Amino acid sequence: AATTANAAAAPAPAGVDTAIVRPPLQFRIIGHTVDIQAMTRFMRFLETSPFIQNVTLAKSTPMLVDNNQVTEFQLDAEYETPDPAAIRRVPFTLSGR
């Protein structure tokens, strides 16, 4: 058993990538719209974010809500780690009285 523990604690050989690969963080947005074109603009807007990728329409269903015809939609997307060059940091201050 000690041999196994020692082997696991040994450093990786030079040139071997030891990064942990994790599956992408996925999320779902559920909403209602009276304008399908507004939903597609929303999808494009999400895709322009450096934090979001692979936005897809999973489902859209026409329905009545308070006697109004709407479309319920489900968007699936993934979080992506942005390129550090794409992020702009600005100072933030808050003054109290």
DSSP assignments along 20-78, one per residue: PP-PPPEEEEEEEES-HHHHHHHHHHHHTSTTEEEEEEEEEEEEEETTEEEEEEEEEEE
Q: How far is CA 9 from the centre of its chain?
A: 34
Quick one: pLDDT band at residue 9, thresholds 50, 70, 90?
low
pTM to 2 decimals?
0.65
pLDDT digits (tens, 9 = 90+) for 11-70: 656 666 667 777 889 999 999 999 999 999 999 999 999 999 999 999 999 999 899 999
Q: How far is CA 5 from the centre of its chain?
A: 37
Residues sharing a CB contact under 8 Å with residue 17, sequence separation 6 or more, in sequence order = none
Question: Does 8 score more than 70 pLDDT?
Answer: no
Quick one: pLDDT band at residue 93, thresholds 50, 70, 90?
confident
